[in-house]
Structure formats: C-alpha cells, structure tokens
Amino acid sequence: MTADHDGRVVVLAALERELAPLRLGLLRSRATLVRTGVGPRLAAAATRQHAAGTRLLVNTGCCGGLTAGLRPGTLVIADRVLEDPGPGRSLLEASSPDPSWVSRTLAAGRSLGLTCVSGPTLTVRRALFTPEEKRRGHERSGALAVDMETAAVARAAARAGVPYLTVRVVLDAADESLPLSPRLLEGLVALGRGKLLLDAFRPGRAWASLRLSMRLVLASRGLARLLAEVL
C-alpha cells in the first residue's frame, strides 16, 4: 500500500526486541526504526527528536490485553488513546490516531487474514501486572489494551503537527500475569533502560519470562506483515 504524499515514516517502539522482528519485513520501505526506551518520558523525547520531515509516526510494539476475547498475537489498531494519570485523577484523552491510516491499516490486516481489532487503548504510568489490575483498567476506561507509551507519542506528534498510527500486538492476555516483578520493571523505567531482564532469582520467573520473549517473536510476525503491507 503506498502513501498519499512524500516524506519518511518513523516507526517507534520501546524495546529493541520489539523492533527486531520488524526490521527484515520493512527493509524495502523507507521507514526509520527507532527504539525509544520504556515509559512516557523517553517515548515523548524520541517522538520530538524524529518528528521533523516525517509524514507518519507509527507507534508499535507489544501491549497487554484488557478484554477476555483479546488473545496473544491479536493486532490492536487504536482509534482513541486514553491515559490514566494515576489514583484519584480522571482519565485523560490524547489526540486520536489519524483516522484514514486507522481504516486502511485495519482493512489491510483483514485482507491478509490477520486477527486484528480497532478500538480505544489505555496508557498507564505503571504496568498492569495481574489479571485483577487489568480488570480494573478495563472497567475504568473501556479500553481494549494497555501500554506505557502511546499517549506520550500522541501528544508529541500532535505538537509537531504529524499524523500518527498506533498498531500493537497483544503479548499477555487479560487473564495472565506478567512474570516481571513491579520493582524490576519500574527500576528499568527509572533508569531509562529498554531491556526486559530475566528476574532469574525467583523460582519460575525466568522460565515465564523466556516463554513471554518467545511469544513476542512469534506474535510479531503478523505485526511485521501488516506494517510491511501498509508502509
């Protein structure tokens, strides 16, 4: 699928392991792939840095499912972006992804036979690790999926006057817990590091993290096919 006008496309993801499966599929496109690092501050900074001369910003990577029907490997194309600023504060809504890119991406995914949905997503400051946290996130927002960067990318893109698209692949379902401990992930965010390390010193967690990493590689194949088709 070709673009409507000239200019480069920038694909943003928090982690190199999220970008790696996309590199081969996007070799023929003019897309620039950028690892932002984990969390809103780093995502916003990377978006600002790469927005100039860009016709489209693509926010991608993995996300957590918030609804029962959203299984790992499902592609989520956001049409609205909500943000949870923290306890006791009302939800915020960031600028929406470009509707023409949303519709063409959804159509392309379906034509490829991929499992994809479109709807609202939720950006949080702290990862939702447990099924109970995910249930509360969905009840509060009505969102399909959750991540930690999209709202920051949306706001930075809006300030730069550049349209953006969010396409993420579900890594953990609503009824699954993430194997990383909250303390470890939040430490990585505070340090601005973009690698998920195995928390190998807790029984069972290293295997669960390895299994999740393998799932990311497999789930990202559909994401790579879709982006190659659209971009």
Contact, 123 vs 151, CB < 8 A? yes
Q: For each of the chain's 231 residues, which pLDDT tens digit applies? A: 444 446 789 999 998 888 888 888 787 777 999 999 988 999 999 999 999 999 999 999 999 999 988 999 999 999 999 999 988 899 999 999 999 999 999 999 999 999 999 999 999 988 898 999 999 999 999 999 999 999 999 999 999 999 999 999 998 899 988 765 444 444 444 443 444 444 444 555 555 556 666 777 777 888 989 998 998
What is the helix, strand, coil percentage profile of the chain, to 5?
Answer: 40, 25, 35
Superfamily classification of domain 8-230? Nucleoside phosphorylase domain (3.40.50.1580)
* Residue 145 to residue 134: CA distance in whole angstroms: 9
Alpha helix segments (H runs only) across 73-167: 99-111, 131-141, 150-160
* pLDDT attached to residue 208: 59
* pLDDT attached to residue 29: 76
pTM of the model: 0.83
Contact, 212 vs 173, CB < 8 A? no
* pLDDT attached to residue 206: 54
